[in-house]
Amino acid sequence: MTPYCVLSAWDRHEQELRVFLLKKIADPYEADDLLQELFLKLITQGQSFCGVKNPRAWLFSVMRNALIDRYRTAKSFIDLDPEIALEIDDKPPLLELEACILRNLENLSDNDRSVIEQCDLQGLRQEVYAQTQGLTLSAVKSRLLRARQRLRIEIVKNCQVRFDEKGRVCCHVPR
């Protein structure tokens, strides 16, 4: 059974909440749906709602959060003309660098190649790599940073990589 304090608070503020919703949402049916959701949340509070010092503030706060969630999850769709052909871009330049990366990885020292292959390419956690190699975590982080820098220098030099104004790979010469 629903406590009296819940029903009383709803009776006092339902109309005010509906007016508030209608100012925010043009569709009265959608406003009623949100109002019902609020009522369900209120009922699920049960007896604990009776301890709320300001029931009106609680109701409006929950309603504002529900509105924010609604706007956040609302998706607007635009109908596309089926006559327009779908343009498929080539692979982004960064993905085309894969062969160049693997080729230049071979130019690095065994230590550099090992840390990059295991941590970056195979996804081994740096902590685990440190344990298996008998190194400290900070040593692995430093080693990985230096290895990445050396690999970058090799790739830029050997694949003629160029960057755009934001520092992203824009193009390269695959060799």
Higher pLDDT, 170 or 126: 126
**Whole-prediction pTM value?**
0.45
Domains with residue ranges and CATH for the chain = 4-73 (1.10.1740), 93-171 (1.10.10.10)
From the CB of residue 151, how many other CB atoms can be counted at a distance below 10 Å? 19
Q: How far is CA 115 from CA 99, 133, 134, 145, in A?
A: 19, 10, 13, 10
Higher pLDDT, 72 or 79: 72
Q: What integer pLDDT is reported at residue 16 of this predicted model? A: 93
- Token pair of 2 as six digits: 């629903």
CA dihedral 152, 157, 163, 166 (to 10 degrees): 40
Q: What integer pLDDT is reported at residue 173 of this predicted model? A: 66
Place of tokens 């990366």: 101
Tens digit of each residue's pLDDT (9 = 90 or more) over 134-168: 999 999 999 999 999 998 888 888 887 777 777 77
